[in-house]
Amino acid sequence: MVEFAVELDGVSKRYGDFEAVKEVSFSIRKGEFFSILGPSGSGKTTLLRLIAGLIFPDKGTIKLMGKDCTFLPPYKRNIGMVFQDLALFPHLNVFDNVAYGLRIRKMPENEIKRKVYECLEIVNLDARVFSKRKINQLSGGQQQRVAIARALAIEPSVLLLDEPLGSLDLKLRQHMMLELKRIQRDVKITFVYVTHDQSEALIMSDKVAVINHGKIEQIGTPMEIYEKPATKFVAEFIGEMNFIPAEICEDCAISELGRIKVSGLNGSKKVLIGIRPERIKVGAIGDNTFRGKIEEIVYLGGFVKLDVNVNGVRIKCITSANGFREGETIEIGWRAEEAIIFEA
């Protein structure tokens, strides 16, 4: 049995002077929902296209199901892909779109019918209603489902998804996220999902790889990525983070806020202390308490976001408490172990 569906080893790709992907290595376990998360231009789509075989790397190897596929053309890889623009065939109806890969494989017509119906059922489209529909007669969400069914029909070893939810409105997007997760659990196929949207990555994935400037910043479970960001970039890109420049001095750090207690000090002198807004409590709580003036209040329904000025440093905190006024002086605080220390 092969353990990994996708293995990248030292993969690099450059376009002229631009290094799109630099020395990337990672392995994706079979059956995993794996997300590649990064800002636009970070190289995430290039990575996906390398795995698909639509482009070939300059360096490194790519294995699919344990087999070296680095330079195998895409039509010999047996993978599925859902494109950002879906790339459905407008000259074919829903049934023929889903059947496309099966007809290429010369599957008998009665088996094709069974498989197409099965795949349309997986994506929650009634085959009897939709089979004969033309692509341009479908809504955005329905087109999405057809694109997924078409990719699943060939029983790919890996399904690659390139920001497929980008064009949907918020409500539909949230719905499709849960649908995708359900589909992935049902079909048990490895999903590699590219997105710039952190909530998509956190909600759906078993594992997330954060990429920036063509390099992997961190790979981990959504919780690891959020709770223990490895770099300042990851901390900033996923969720919100207050950064307080400080200098380590024996058992604590000196900053513009004053002395900050931190746990697990490392050797470096200049550091950035990161603390999530929702980990900062209002009131004299924890090891670090500071007084500050509320500069701005943003009402978020269930929460309020406060912008507190502590000795000239703006600290954002999120609380479910209510009844604050702008200009009011309050105390905020956090426990030493909630802070994350980055080298400056």
Partner 1 sequence: MKKLAIPGVVYLLVLFYLPFFIVVLYSLGFPNFTLEFYAEVLDPWFFKFFLNSLLIATITTVLCLVLAYPVAYYIALRAQRWKNLLLVLIILPFWISLLLRTYAVMVILTPLGLMFTFTAVVIGMVYDYFPFMVLPLYASLEKLKRSQLEASYILGASPLKTFLKVTLPHSKPGIVAGIMLVFIPSFGEFVVPSMLGGTYVTIGTLTWDLFLRYHDWWRGSAISVIYMAIVLIAIAIYMKKAGRIEL
Provide the 3-class DSSP secondary structure of residue 188.
Answer: coil
- Out of 74, 239, 258, 333, point to the residue binding partner 1 (CB under 8 A): 74
Binding-site member from 44, 77, 145, 281 for partner 1 (CB under 8 A): 77
H/E element, 186: helix 170-187
Interface residue with partner 1 among 84, 174, 289, 309 (CB under 8 A) is 84
Please, are residues 317 and 331 in contact by the beta-carbon 8 Å criterion? Answer: no
In this chain, which stretch among 1-9, 87-95, 177-185, 254-262 interacts with partner 1, using CB under 8 A? 87-95
> What CA–CA distances, in Å, run from 332 to 183, 280, 307?
44, 7, 11
Q: Which of the ranges 40-48, 79-87, 182-190, 223-231 carries the binding residues for partner 1, by CB under 8 A?
A: 79-87
Give the angle subtended at the CA of 305 by the CAs of 302 and 311, to the nearest 5°.
155
For partner 1, which is the closer residue by CB, 80 or 220?
A: 80
Answer for which of 15, 56, 105, 223 binds partner 1 (CB under 8 A) is 105
- Kindly tell me which of 88 and 248 has the beta carbon lying closer to partner 1: 88
Q: Which two tokens stand for residue 342?
A: 């980055």
Q: Does 244 bind partner 1 (CB under 8 A)?
A: no
CA distance 337 to 196: 29
C-beta of residue 186 within 8 angstroms of C-beta of residue 193: no
**Site membership for partner 1, residue 44 (CB under 8 A):** no
Helix or strand run (H / E) with residue 162: strand 158-162
Say what angle helices 140-153 and 170-187 make with each other, to 10 degrees: 20
Q: In the complex, what is the shortest distance from the CB of residue 49 to partner 1, in angstroms, rounded to a whole number? A: 8
Over the window 139 to 158, marking each residue x when it contacts partner 1 by CB under 8 A and - when it does not, the resulting string is: -----------xx--x----
- The neighbour count for residue 249, using CB atoms within 10 Å, is 11
Question: 150 or 276, CB closer to partner 1?
Answer: 150
Site residues (vs partner 1, CB under 8 A): 52-54, 73-81, 83-85, 87-91, 100-101, 104-105, 150-151, 154
